[in-house]
Amino acid sequence: MNICFIIDPWEEINPEEDSTIRLIHESLVRNHTVGILYPYSLTIRDSNTYGFVRLIKKQEKYSTNYTTFHKKVILNKQLLPISGFDAIFIRTNPPLDQIMLNFLDSIKDQTFIVNDIDGLRRANNKLYPASFEDPKNEIIPVTHVSKSKNYLKEVIKNSVKDKMILKPLDGFGGSGVIVLERDATQNINSLLDFYISGKRDGNYVIVQEFIEGAEEGDTRVLMLNGEPIGAYRRIPAQDDIRSNIKAGGSAQKHVLSKQEKLICKKIGPKLVADGLYFVGLDIIKGKLIEINVVSPGGITRINKFNRTKIQSKVIDFVEHVISHKEKAYHRKQSHKKLIENA
Ligand SMILES: Nc1ncnc2c1ncn2[C@@H]1O[C@H](COP(=O)(O)OP(=O)(O)O)[C@@H](O)[C@H]1O
Ligand SMILES: [Mg+2]
């Protein structure tokens, strides 16, 4: 199989922690041809999408020490048609490059993309879980999204609880997530001005129910093809509410609770229907707060805590999809021949 990984620069990867390097390593060990592509190196040539792909030179053996593997890899840059890849993993850090998605639109019917381009467009910010049907807020916290300051002020004023979370709609890594006190009226105008101001007609911001117990941490669940394949817990630093590792959180082993399993079961089929095959859920106290669809991380930590190799499940899945597609294609060709020769 030919597998392409769209990533940020190879040199910037931290091989000790990075999930993508584990997926790349697993693909190479299975003797697949692996190319690395940077979004900025996409191009159109003769109406086809090409890219300056860095093919990884195949070797008899690859070091199982990821730092050595990362250092020793030999990359060979060539201009290649992207539809020649059977599968593409989009593994860049958010925010998602919209022009890259436009390039990939032209090949999305010929190549299996994890995650699906249209699914990524739909789910690439926090509106996606906020708009799930859950009338009693059993799994989704009460969430308001707006760029109207007056409306959000009303929401805050009328809140039953005295604490809320304020965060940008398209933030990541915990950036801009703050606890808002309903009665801190002297701050609210300024905060809302600050969060909303920016683009020409302002940014959307989220005011969300504060989930009690968040200081005990959140659960990151990796979902593959609608099923949980691993999880770990992230505990915020003592002086913070954000569990993100980037924001100083620390990692712990975790076994999914009944409620967490129920969330996975409830939303799994929708994720698959939207082409969101490999995602990371963030769950606090049985409530789903985020679905990370662009390059979810956690493989390394889950592997360490559970002595698993999550990456092999992911590559198994992609191999399965491609082999299914190929069999269908060959069956069709042979059936066509049968009719032509009848
Ligand atoms: N409604 C909430 N109640 C309590 N804590 C929250 C809430 N929303 C976010 N947090 C905390 O902030 C962290 C980051 O929030 P999240 O919505 O996942 O945004 P990001 O995309 O920045 O990770 C969460 O992991 C959690 O620790
Ligand atoms: Mg998060």
- Of all residues in the chain, the percent with pLDDT exceeding 90 is 95
Is residue 135, in this structure, part of any structural domain at all? Answer: no
Identify the CATH number of the domain in which residue 165 sits: 3.30.1490.20
Residue 131: inside a domain, yes or no? Answer: no
Of 34-38, 131-135, 231-235, the range with the lowest mean pLDDT is 131-135
Ligand 1 touching residue 260 (CB < 6 A): no
* Mean per-residue pLDDT over the chain, rounded: 96
pLDDT band at 206 (very low <50, low <70, confident <90, very high): very high
282 lines ligand 1 (CB under 6 A): yes
The reported pLDDT for the residue numbered 200 is 81
CATH number at residue 242: 3.30.470.20
Interval 113-131: pLDDT, tens = 999 999 999 999 999 999 8
Arithmetic mean of pLDDT, 129-155: 95
Q: CATH number of the domain that 58 lies in?
A: 3.40.50.20
Is the pLDDT at 98 greater than 90? The verdict is yes
Which pLDDT value is given to residue 299?
Answer: 98
Phi, psi (rounded to 5 degrees) for 42? -80, 150
Q: Is 230 in the pocket of ligand 1 (CB under 6 A)?
A: no
- Which range of residues forms the domain containing residue 177? 142-209
Does one domain contain both 89 and 33? Answer: yes
Q: What's at 241, amino acid-wise?
A: I
Whether residue 124 contacts residue 294, with contact meaning beta carbons closer than 8 Å, is answered with yes
Q: Does 182 fall in a domain? A: yes
* Domains: count for the chain: 3
For the segment 16-30, what is each residue's pLDDT rounded down to a tens digit?
999 999 999 999 999
Check residue 233 and give its pLDDT: 98
- Flag whether 125 is in a domain: no
Predicted pLDDT at 198: 79
Residues 26 and 110 in one domain: yes
Residue 321 lies in a domain: no
Model pTM score: 0.95
- 171 CA → ligand 2 middle, Å: 9
Angstrom distance (rounded) from CA 284 to CA 6:
30
Q: Identify whether residues 282 and 243 lie together within a single domain.
A: yes
Pocket test for ligand 1, best of 169, 290, 293 (most atoms within 8 A of CB): 290
CA distance 86 to 289: 33
Q: Which ligand is nearest to the CA of 142?
A: 1
Confidence label for 199 from pLDDT (cuts 50, 70 and 90): confident
120 domain residue, yes or no: no
Residue-wise pLDDT tens digits, 241-267:
999 999 999 999 999 999 999 999 999
Name the residue with higher pLDDT: 198 or 230: 230
